[in-house]
Structure 1
Amino acid sequence: MNRTTGKIILVVVLALPVIFAILLKKSIFGYKTLPIYSTDEMGEEVPYYIDSFSLTDQNGMTFSREDIGDKIFISNFFFASCPEVCPVINGHIKIATQKLENSTDILFLSHTVDPYNDTVAVLRKYADKFEVNDDQWKFLTGKRSTIYNLAINNYKAVIQEVPDTTDFIHSEKLMLIDKDFHVRGIYDGLDITDVLKMVEDARFLLKIYKDEEANE
């Protein structure tokens, strides 16, 4: 190996850490993106979109899409008598609310898939079990048709009653929604690692909006 070749190799070796640092910085601070989830409808990509709705929260107050205001939000589906899966998912959501407790621009919306049994009183008791901040985390009930339409047609979530039982099949996913009511992330509510990723994505989405406001 001659001196010229040796010098080239040395320069490349010395430059690699710098190149890696630049790429890492760009991936973290500049080039990360969150998808807008969509469905293929006759060859056209149509984004998931959360329509207007009117439901009732754990305090008996009407809660509509308009009450979300200029916030992002995280949604899921559950039912209060669910013995195993729902408590785990909502326990993970509780952790997420604690991680994001200083973020006033985010809401958590938990929709019951059993509105007949999950009355306001039931949801109030259920919310108290998780010591929720009522301004941050809403447990919602209302017309079955409204909730099921939101789940199936807007969130594209699996939801179904099990015949001749008091059980329900429902999505275990948590969904991150932006200020334009588009789904920007879908996460496994049973996987705490995925839930913590959701927390980071929520922070990132809030940062995008903050940066946009600063540049206006």
Structure 2
Amino acid sequence: MSFRNQFNKEFSVTSLKGKVHLVNFFFVSCTTICPIMAHNLKDVVLGNNNIDLLSFTIDPENDSISVLKKYHKNVAENVPNWTFLRGNKKDLRNIAKLYLSYITNNGSDDSYFYHSSSVVLLDKKMRIRGVYDSLDKEEIALLERDIKILSKK
């Protein structure tokens, strides 16, 4: 699987082994859940060096590197531990399966995806430790608690 970040640098998901991290899926032109998700997740990771956030676009055709870079500047400029990633649909499907992200493909090929407001928490051994609704303040509080617990281990 190959992904590039908002600065057009190749990014290996396995580089986060040994770090607690979060994964979510979004697309820049989303006007429904994505802005709320971004706001809530920014609050979780801002100033927290114990966690990294990976946000994979599900719309790589429209979310070019330059679009992701601009989005990063607008949404997460002061959050160095938040990485926006894009790849091809096949790699996206594989990473979604890896993270049990609740991305669903209703087509027979890789041409159609939709996503949920879920964010996946992984421990230092890259094991899934929880899935949280990033739109729900109570679940965000649980996520923050669980990050603290995992960061101590």
Q: Same fold (TM over 0.5)?
A: yes
TM class by shorter-chain length? Answer: 0.7 to 0.9
Cα deviation code 1:109-139 (max 9, x no counterpart): 0001111111111111111111334630000
2:7 aligns with one of 29, 36, 59? 59
Cα deviation code 1:41-73 (max 9, x no counterpart): xxxxxxxxxxxx431111111110232242110
CA contact (8 A) 2:45 2:79 kept: no
2:103 aligns with one of 141, 146, 159? 159
1:106 aligns with 2:54: no
Match of 2:142 in 1: 197
Cα deviation code 1:113-172 (max 9, x no counterpart): 111111111111111111334630000001211111111x21223324678xxx852121
| Normalised TM-score (structure 2) | 0.88
The alignment covers a number of residue pairs equal to 150
Counting helix residues as a fraction of each chain, which structure ranks higher? 1
Structure with the greater relative contact order (CA < 8 A, sep ≥ 6): 1 or 2? 2
Q: Which has the larger radius of gyration?
A: 1
1:79 aligns with 2:27: yes
Q: 1:132 to 1:203 in 2, by over 3 A?
A: farther
Match of 1:24 in 2: none
| Normalised TM-score (structure 1) | 0.64
1:148 aligns with one of 90, 93, 99? 93
Cα RMSD, aligned residues only: 2.1
Structure 2 portions without partners, runs of 5+: none
Match of 2:120 in 1: 175
Percent of aligned pairs with the same residue? Answer: 34
